[in-house]
Structure 1
């Protein structure tokens, strides 16, 4: 068993094949002393995946956060075969896997949200088994899932405290639907449910930049900040842009201590 020290975050990210969709859990606890664990002096990030941290596109960011013992990582991968979705094709080769059928369209089939509810249930089980968590970090589809999950929980349990104390969104869209070849259309009725401190990080060259802004506007302006890295719809691996993201995460961690 581990001992809680500092903030605990859960992060969601979407990757194709060797870069599978991953839930990254940033935790405040010290790892156990087993051979494959890393002791964190600040907060730890736990994820669950077949892949090691450096084998996926968040490797540079993870390395930066581990450099000063800010975080450790393990992964939870998505297993639903899906289309690349907005912003992914051209950055990563397929096939692609998500937490639910993605992207959703306006078709009759996609009006059934049972697969999304199953994804939410999977996250709830992860929180119950590995948490409690202080925050959530989402990249791309992972951010969409994270936002939808928090909004769903707030709607279902309006009198309960927020599930997380803070959130980090990287190149993330609000819950949306889109037809093939069309632009995403943000779902209605999302406002007023995310009132925790949030950091929104977007790529200056991301063709979906406006959707990062849309998610930012859905969150409480009082507690939200917006940062921009110099790349597109990806998690940068160069030192300068990784530092921008890592700094934002460290500031948020300090804010909720």
Structure 2
């Protein structure tokens, strides 16, 4: 199974290869997966006070956030009370950010960019995304299903790993883009998914809202007990690889979507602009 790897905001293909390295290396060693690393097309500067947090520059985002959304808006989600359920937390986050919406053109450009990368790598049949990359990956799956209905384009993504993600986005009205939430749309993602997050994640409500919008009979979750990170310690990597060693062969043997099988090999880096 070959994964398209999508980093978080203020990330890059190069940095995500390092972040994901321990788990990716273990999966490759076991002959379970290979990896293609991508990144957003919009180069960004890290927020003030976070210059050394995100790793080596250049850094990128999938979304063009020069107008509207900025890093400060994420702080609101960190302070949502724990008594609020995941869907209400996402709604409150969007509502209190009125005027900072990602416009449909911005989102369409981001989706088109990811689809171009997918088309450039015909052996990719799975996705792994972290934070913003998980949101983009989830939206890619939803968009593939929509295109299959509208144009007959065959969906490519058979399996998704979401690390500290948030729910997929959809168009609403003339110019808004909003999250798809389980209490509004039910199941939005029906392929098998594996959700990795930590109970100490300040943005846990986003990861839970993403889990809730996936088909429950095909979803697995893993709590690494840490924060908003890609787990890299030996114990978590071993446990994650053990779970995926059970999941991936079953998907390769019986998934309903046609699959291009690939052996393990060196990870590649795509889109280092």
TM over 0.5: yes
Q: How far 1:239 sits from its partner (Å)?
A: 0.1
- 2:160 aligned counterpart, secondary structure: strand
| Alignment map for 1:163-174 (pairs within 5 Å) | 163-174=156-167
> May I ask how many residue pairs the two structures share in their alignment?
210
- Is 2:193 aligned against 1:198? yes
Does the CA contact (< 8 Å) of 1:230 and 1:241 recur in 2?
no
Question: What residue is the counterpart of 1:98 in the other structure?
Answer: 61
Give the direction of change, closer, same or farther, for the CA distance of 1:52–1:203 in structure 2 (3 Å limit): closer
User: Could you tell me how far apart the structure 2 residues matched to 1:166 and 1:61 are?
Assistant: 17
User: Could you tell me how far apart the structure 2 residues matched to 1:130 and 1:186 are?
Assistant: 28
**RMSD value, Cα:** 3.3
Structure with bigger RCO (C-alpha 8 Å, 6+ apart):
2
User: Could you tell me how far apart the structure 2 residues matched to 1:79 and 1:111 are?
Assistant: 16
User: Could you tell me how far apart the structure 1 residues matched to 2:244 and 2:30 are?
Assistant: 13
Give the direction of change, closer, same or farther, for the CA distance of 1:109–1:210 in structure 2 (3 Å limit): closer
Greater per-residue helix proportion: 2
Match of 2:7 among 9, 13, 21: 13
Q: After superposition, give the CA deviation of every residue in 1:37-78 in whole Å (9 maximum; x if it has no partner).
A: xxxxxxxxxxxx5x693xx22122222223334344442222
User: Could you tell me how far apart the structure 1 residues matched to 2:186 and 2:64 are?
Assistant: 24
Match of 2:215 among 220, 224, 244: 220
Question: What residue is the counterpart of 1:153 in the other structure?
Answer: 144
Does the CA contact (< 8 Å) of 2:2 and 2:36 recur in 1?
no
User: Could you tell me how far apart the structure 2 residues matched to 1:70 and 1:204 are?
Assistant: 27
Q: How far 1:90 sits from its partner (Å)?
A: 9.3
TM-score (norm 2): 0.64
User: Could you tell me how far apart the structure 1 residues matched to 2:126 and 2:25 are?
Assistant: 20
- 1:192 aligned counterpart, secondary structure: coil
TM-score (norm 1): 0.68
Question: What residue is the counterpart of 2:116 in the other structure?
Answer: 125
Query: Please, which runs of 5 or more residues in structure 2 have no aligned partner?
Result: 71-93, 171-177, 253-273
